[in-house]
Amino acid sequence: MVLNLDKVRQYFPALAGKWTFFDNAGGSQTLKKVVDRISEFLLTSDVQLGASYAISQLAGERLALATRGMATFINAKSSREVVMGPSTTMMLKVLSMCLSQTFAHGDEIIITNCDHEANIGAWVALEKQGIKIKIWQISPDTLELHLEDLEPLMSQRTKLVALTHASNILGTINPIKEIAAFVHERGAMICVDGVAYAPHRLVDVQDLDVDFYALSFYKVYGSHHALLYGKEEHLLKMPGLNHYFIDQTDIPYKFQLGNVNFELSYGMLGLCDYLSELAQIHYGNQTTPDLRSQMVQAFDLISMHEEKIGDRLLDYLNSKSNVRVVGQLKANHKSRVPTISFVVDGIDSSTIPVKIDSHYIGIRYGDFYAKRLIEYLGLASQSGIVRVSMVHYNTLEEVDCLIEAFEQVL
């Protein structure tokens, strides 16, 4: 079955303009259904929660419905395991501040050198309170994380391993389920940054058996809002950051300073609406009855289409003798997402995107907050990499237009 791009693109009003968006890893275009949900909340239930009057009760019900929807989206056991907030960077910082209060001086945390700084800096900051930080480096040959390199880093004092699900530079999907089992066997927890994964593949925190997982909604077709998942037993054990009189069993509220943004949270039900309709459009009478299964059907279509557009661009880049793809050279929906980075021999990466702008195609260069990885790869002096980050609403025709533009530049 082939993804119906004409139907898909109708859900994203911005795509009707003249621009082609290939900077989606920085932020995807927004579903109209998300905007509609935000408007619905603001125009009909924009009040504080917890009062006895009917509109306040409606607002509370809507927020609870949104939290359940996001629990379904990541397959959490309970909505109590879903903490929404302003950004992944902020949510991981909150997590590090709260979780570290359960650690002792000399305990250890393992980070990688290929993550976005959000899932590095929050943990490195704990060195000030006596937590030891170790670094799990990607292989310089394969540009992948290998368990044999993690093994010697772990000890009886290891409390947490923090890593990314998919690299926002390399596009590589890490085998999180395997890594989580390895980490748990050695008595530690695992925290996964899913920001670069969630727009492309359906998250299943129960199947992965992760302890913590974070993602940003503005990169998953929604608003500037984020989600932190934590196993309920961990969230209950950790002290919160909210006011002293907030019940420590009140999760997720004890982690939401100043409360969560109601309208942006409710807006994300628009993503659930979209995925459900996408399944119904393509599967008709064969559409599964429950929302989670519909999400599975939708993402199956998404992943296969993304493999096609990724393959088209990678084939072109690999054909250029002066271009080096940074990451896996072939498209594979199981092992990489269509976030494609490259460098050109003898050309500073900063000079390339500006030459593509006149074609009304948006791409980008830089380190994308994975500065440690860019430095490790020796690419900082070249202004980092050029990144083309695609999602399922992009078309083969758009890729071909980009290739034509590259032919004048590369």
Equal CATH topology for 5-30+291-407 and 34-271: no
- Grouping H, G, I as helix, E, B as strand and the rest as coil, residue 352 is coil
162 token code pair: 């923090």
Q: Which residues contact 201 (CB under 8 A, 6 or more apart)?
A: 166, 173, 299, 302, 303, 333, 337
Q: Which residues contact 52 (CB under 8 A, 6 or more apart)?
A: none
The domain limits of the chain are 5-30+291-407, 34-271
What is the tens place of the pLDDT at every residue in 32-42?
999 999 999 99
Q: Over pLDDT 70: what percentage of the chain? A: 100
* Neighbour tally for 137: CB within 10 Å: 16
- Rg (C-alpha) for the chain, rounded Å, is 21
Structure confidence at residue 346 as a pLDDT band (50, 70, 90): very high
| pLDDT tens for each residue of 353-376 | 999 999 999 999 999 999 999 999
Written as one letter, the residue type at 344 is: V
Taking residues 263-271, what's their average pLDDT? 98
- Does residue 164 contact residue 171 with C-beta atoms inside 8 Å? no
* Structure tokens belonging to residue 392: 């399922």
Closest-CA residue to 190 (of 163, 171, 215, 170): 163
Structure confidence by residue, pLDDT tens digits, 107-119: 999 999 999 999 9
**Which residues have CB under 8 Å from 375's CB, separation 6+?**
none
Tell me which amino acid residue 254 is.
K
218-235 average pLDDT score: 98
- Evaluate whether the domain defined by 5-30+291-407 bears CATH number 3.90.1150.10: yes
Are 283 and 297 in contact by the 8 Å Cβ rule? The answer is yes
What distances in angstroms separate CA 331 from CA 171, 193, 306, 393, 409, one per listed residue? 10, 22, 9, 17, 23
Could you tell me which residues are beta bridge partners of residue 24? none
- pLDDT digits 0-9 by tens, 316-329: 999 999 999 999 99
User: What is the longest distance spanned by two Cα atoms in the chain?
Assistant: 69
Taking the C-alpha atoms of residue 27 and residue 43, their distance in angstroms, rounded to an integer, is 26
pLDDT band at 197 (very low <50, low <70, confident <90, very high): very high
From residue 30, give the alpha-carbon distance in Å to each of 35, 38, 168, 222, 281. Answer: 8, 12, 20, 5, 20
Per-position DSSP letters for 67-122, written without gaps between them: HHHHHHHHT-S-GGGEEEES-HHHHHHHHHHHHGGG--TT-EEEEESSS-THHHHH
Element (H, E) at 306: helix 291-318
Q: What does the alpha-carbon distance between residue 39 and residue 405 come to, in Å, rounded to a whole number? A: 39
User: Which residues does residue 82 pair with via DSSP β-bridges, in sequence order?
Assistant: 229
Nearest CA among 157, 159, 174 for reference residue 114: 174
Task: Give the pLDDT confidence score for residue 327 in this predicted structure.
Answer: 97
Sequence-distant (≥ 6) Cβ neighbours of residue 85 within 8 angstroms: 91, 94, 225, 226, 227, 228, 255, 256, 260
The CATH architecture that domain 34-271 belongs to is 3-Layer(aba) Sandwich (3.40)
- Summarised one tens digit per residue, pLDDT across range 170-193 is 999 999 999 999 999 999 999 999
* Torsion (CA) 171, 177, 182, 185 in degrees, nearest 10: 150
Chain segment 299-320, per-residue pLDDT in tens: 999 999 999 999 999 999 999 9
- pLDDT tens digit string along 238-262? 999 999 999 999 999 999 999 999 9
Q: Which residues 6+ apart lie within 8 Å of 348 measured at CB?
A: 382, 383
Query: How distant, in Å, are the alpha carbons of 19, 28, 40, 262, 291 from that of 269?
Result: 27, 17, 11, 12, 12
Residue 71 has a pLDDT of 98
- Percent pLDDT > 90 in the chain is 100
Looking at every residue in the chain, the average pLDDT score rounds to 97
